[in-house]
């Protein structure tokens, strides 16, 4: 069976870089879905991620159904909470916040999610999620009540990412936080990439094609961009196919 995860691995084997456009249902007007997704389709984007730190229940399902009407790209849930799980999507990043020490975000919410996932058709992708310090408090930090990893302690970041791989996680996600002032540095991305045998996702604060290329050159396999598109859809013009 061809799966979204296998396709990511195949793309990496072919030395392709992947771009996920993140849509936060809390900050997005559903009636804007078609024009927005038309721009996504015309761009180099390869995935649509849907999720946010604080989203009203049911909004995710409504939005995902609308997105699926307008694109063939895989729609992947990037949930801040159990309420954001919907069968209308294709896959679910089953995120464990391994940079933090809050048991709810390490395993608690996952246990609660199981009753929603018993007969799921979603492809579940276990993902080690690492929040990296970026100069200001982010929604992830506030909502999860965890501290980000210090950016000047790269060996701890590397060891945390590798521990995630050893635990069986299939993706590692380095997160500076939505709207971060500073994206994750090239130095941290390259050190983490060096030790990993699984795909690396990087997101948070990437607002320019230069920052995107920097992340790719440093070793990011998938880059996630949300805020830059929310603030200025003309950014898609510089990312046309
Ligand atoms: C946030 O990594 C994503 O979880 C994307 O961040 O909104 O800053 O692009 P931005």
DSSP state string for 41-92: HHBS--EEEE--SS--TTHHHHHHHHHHHH--S-EEE--SSGGG--TTSSEE
- Which whole number is the average pLDDT over 102-115? 97
- Domains annotated on the chain, with CATH: 17-239 (3.20.20.390)
Interval between CA 189 and ligand 1 midpoint (Å):
16
Among 44-58, 83-97, 170-184, which is the least confidently predicted range? Answer: 44-58
**DSSP assignment string, 162-225:** HHHHHTT-SEEEEE--TT-SSPPPHHHHHHHHHH-SS-EEEESS--SHHHHHHHHHHT-SEEEE
pLDDT at 44 over 90: yes
Determine the Cα–Cα distance for residues 47 and 201; give it in Å rounded to an integer: 12
Determine the Cα–Cα distance for residues 106 and 38; give it in Å rounded to an integer: 36
Indicate whether residue 224 lines ligand 1 (CB < 6 A). Answer: yes
Specify the pLDDT at position 89: 98
Two tokens at 58? 């049911």
The label of the residue with tokens 């390490």 reads 106
Could you report the per-residue pLDDT of 122-169, keeping only the tens digit for each? 999 999 999 999 988 999 999 999 999 999 999 999 999 999 999 999
| CA 108 remoteness from chain centre | 20
Give the rounded percent of residues in the chain with a pLDDT score beyond 90.
96
Could you report the per-residue pLDDT of 208-236, keeping only the tens digit for each? 999 999 999 999 999 999 999 999 999 99
Interval between CA 163 and ligand 1 midpoint (Å):
23
Specify the pLDDT at position 54: 86
Whether the complex's predicted ipTM surpasses the cut of 0.95: yes
The ligand 1 atom nearest the CA atom of 202: 2
- What does R_g of the chain's alpha carbons equal in angstroms? 16
Specify the pLDDT at position 1: 53
Two tokens at 177? 């936080």
Specify the pLDDT at position 20: 98
Indicate whether residue 203 lines ligand 1 (CB < 6 A). Answer: yes
Burial 71-100 (b: 16+ CB within 10 A, else e): bebbbbbbbbbbbbbbebbbbbbbbbbbbb
The ligand 1 atom nearest the CA atom of 207: 9
Interval between CA 217 and ligand 1 midpoint (Å):
19
Q: Would you call 28 helix, strand, or coil by DSSP?
A: coil
Interval between CA 204 and ligand 1 midpoint (Å):
4
Could you report the per-residue pLDDT of 57-90, keeping only the tens digit for each? 899 999 999 999 999 999 999 999 999 999 999 9
Indicate whether residue 225 lines ligand 1 (CB < 6 A). Answer: yes
Beta carbons within 10 angstroms of residue 101's beta carbon = 11
Specify the pLDDT at position 2: 65
Interval between CA 165 and ligand 1 midpoint (Å):
22
Which residues lie below 8 Å from residue 136, measured CB to CB, with a gap of 6+? 177, 180, 181
Determine the Cα–Cα distance for residues 127 and 129; give it in Å rounded to an integer: 6
**pTM > 0.90:** yes
The ligand 1 atom nearest the CA atom of 183: 8
What average pLDDT does the chain have? 96
The ligand 1 atom nearest the CA atom of 227: 7
Indicate whether residue 205 lines ligand 1 (CB < 6 A). Answer: yes
- Which whole number is the average pLDDT over 95-99? 98
Binding residues for Mg(2+): 24, 53
Indicate whether residue 138 lines ligand 1 (CB < 6 A). Answer: no
Instruction: Tell me the CB-side half-sphere exposure of residue 177, using CA atoms within 13 A.
Output: 23
Backbone φ, ψ for residue 36 (5° rounding): -70, -45
The ligand 1 atom nearest the CA atom of 173: 2
Specify the pLDDT at position 135: 87
Torsion angle, alpha carbons of 86, 127, 197, 4, to 10: 0
């Amino acid at each position: 069976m061809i799966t979204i995860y296998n396709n990511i691995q195949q793309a990496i084997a072919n030395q392709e870089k992947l771009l996920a456009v993140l849509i936060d249902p809390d900050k997005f007007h559903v009636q804007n879905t078609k024009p927005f997704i038309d721009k996504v389709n015309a761009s180099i984007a390869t995935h649509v991620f849907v999720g946010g730190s604080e989203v009203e229940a049911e909004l995710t399902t409504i939005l995902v159904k609308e997105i699926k009407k307008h694109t063939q790209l895989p729609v992947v849930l990037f949930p801040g909470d159990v309420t954001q799980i919907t069968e209308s999507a294709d896959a679910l990043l089953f995120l464990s916040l391994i940079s933090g020490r809050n048991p709810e975000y390490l395993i608690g919410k996952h246990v609660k999610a199981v009753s929603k996932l018993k007969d799921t058709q979603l492809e579940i992708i276990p993902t080690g999620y690492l929040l990296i310090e970026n100069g200001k408090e982010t929604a992830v930090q506030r909502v999860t009540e965890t501290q980000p990893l210090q950016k000047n302690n790269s060996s701890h970041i590397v060891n945390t990412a590798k521990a995630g791989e050893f635990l069986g996680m299939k993706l590692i996600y380095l997160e500076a936080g939505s709207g971060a002032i500073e994206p994750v540095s090239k130095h941290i991305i390259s050190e983490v990439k060096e030790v990993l045998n699984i795909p690396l996702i990087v997101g948070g604060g990437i607002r320019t094609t230069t920052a995107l290329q920097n992340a790719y050159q440093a070793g990011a396999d998938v880059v996630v961009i949300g805020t830059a598109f929310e603030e200025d859809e003309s950014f898609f013009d510089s990312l046309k196919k």
